[in-house]
């Protein structure tokens, strides 16, 4: 390793420590962080890799980022793993992604970090559109972690924010038609319980990688007043320094919630 590289790494390490100290001293930690993990395929292409290897690298990066979140005290993380639009991708890539997600979920059941930190895993999305083997894996990991109350990991699979809202409206319409609820019962507060998971708080911060500056149908209802942060790096290349910068940026903002 060259001297300049060593100096660069040391400088980055020092900067990380300074940011981490500032974040913890500030105390305004985002309780819920939403993550749009964008750029796996472009990362693979830029490194001459098969696109599937980019997804594997992305999965490994998520494991790192979850540890960073727990280190600063974030209790809930919702990650965008597979959107409804992703069904339009090449069939071989979709099958690979479903297998990767399935194996990753099953591994979580015996993962020491999940057990030690009591991480409850919940999958949100149109689960019935997924292949049976993946639905089985989802059921197993949710059952295995349902009583954990340390942290919560929500994984959005076959997820679309518009679809979530439409499905909620359908459920409300059915209950209204059957007489279970009245028109006066429909409120912003009650609407939440018809979402895929009505128990999670709105995300304080939504982080997206790869330089794209849009939310792409992610948590449209829940993210109405979330702070947004866009990083230029591809998801597998996200450094701890990049993550800490996002959190520090969140801390320096004045949240007005539309007022």
Q: What are phi and psi of 76, to 5 degrees?
A: -130, 130
Instruction: Give binding residues for Mg(2+) as ranges.
Output: 38, 227
- In Å, what is the CA distance from 53 to each residue of 60, 97, 207, 224? 11, 11, 23, 34
* 38 is annotated as an active-site residue: yes
Instruction: Say if residues 229 and 254 touch (Cβ distance below 8 Å).
Output: no
Annotated active-site residue in 26, 28, 38, 92: 38
Burial of 68 (0-12, 13-18, 19+ CB in 10 A): middle
Task: Compute the distance between CA of residue 89 and CA of residue 40 in angstroms, rounded to an integer.
Answer: 14
* 86 is annotated as an active-site residue: yes
Q: Which domains does the chain have, with CATH numbers?
A: 27-161+203-249 (3.40.1180.10)
Annotated active-site residue in 9, 26, 52, 86: 86
Task: Compute the distance between CA of residue 121 and CA of residue 80 in angstroms, rounded to an integer.
Answer: 14
Nearest to residue 221, comparing CAs of 166, 145, 171, 147?
166
- What is the chain's pLDDT, residue by residue, as a tens digit (259 residues)? 565 566 666 788 898 999 999 999 998 999 999 999 999 999 999 999 999 999 999 999 999 999 999 999 999 999 999 999 999 999 999 999 999 999 999 999 999 999 999 999 999 999 999 999 999 999 999 999 999 999 999 999 999 999 999 999 999 999 999 999 999 999 999 999 999 999 999 999 999 999 999 999 999 999 999 999 999 999 999 999 999 999 999 999 988 877 6
Instruction: Give binding residues as ranges.
Output: 38-42, 55, 83-85, 87, 89, 208, 214-216, 227
């Amino acid at each position: 390793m060259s001297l300049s590289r060593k100096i660069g790494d040391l400088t980055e390490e020092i900067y990380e420590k300074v940011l981490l100290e500032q974040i913890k001293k500030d105390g305004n930690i985002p309780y819920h962080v939403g993550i749009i993990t964008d750029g796996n395929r472009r990362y693979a292409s830029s490194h001459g890799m098969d696109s599937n290897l980019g997804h594997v690298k992305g999965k490994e990066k998520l494991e790192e980022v979850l540890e960073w979140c727990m280190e600063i005290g974030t209790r809930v993380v919702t990650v965008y793993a597979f959107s409804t639009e992703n069904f339009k991708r090449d069939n071989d890539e979709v099958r690979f992604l479903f297998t990767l997600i399935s194996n990753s979920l099953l591994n979580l059941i015996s993962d020491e970090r999940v057990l030690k930190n009591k991480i409850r895993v919940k999958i949100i999305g149109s689960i019935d559109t997924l292949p049976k083997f993946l639905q089985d894996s989802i059921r197993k990991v949710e059952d295995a972690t349902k009583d954990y109350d340390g942290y919560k990991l929500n994984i959005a699979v076959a997820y679309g924010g518009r679809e979530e809202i439409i499905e909620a409206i359908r459920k409300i319409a059915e209950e209204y038609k059957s007489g279970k609820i009245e028109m006066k019962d429909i409120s912003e507060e009650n609407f939440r319980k018809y979402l895929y998971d009505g128990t999670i708080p709105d995300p304080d911060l939504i982080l997206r990688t790869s330089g794209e500056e849009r939310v792409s149908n992610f948590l449209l209802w829940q993210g109405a007043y979330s702070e947004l942060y866009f990083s230029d790096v591809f998801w597998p290349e996200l450094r701890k320094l990049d993550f800490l910068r996002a959190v520090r940026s969140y801390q320096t903002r004045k949240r007005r919630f539309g007022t």
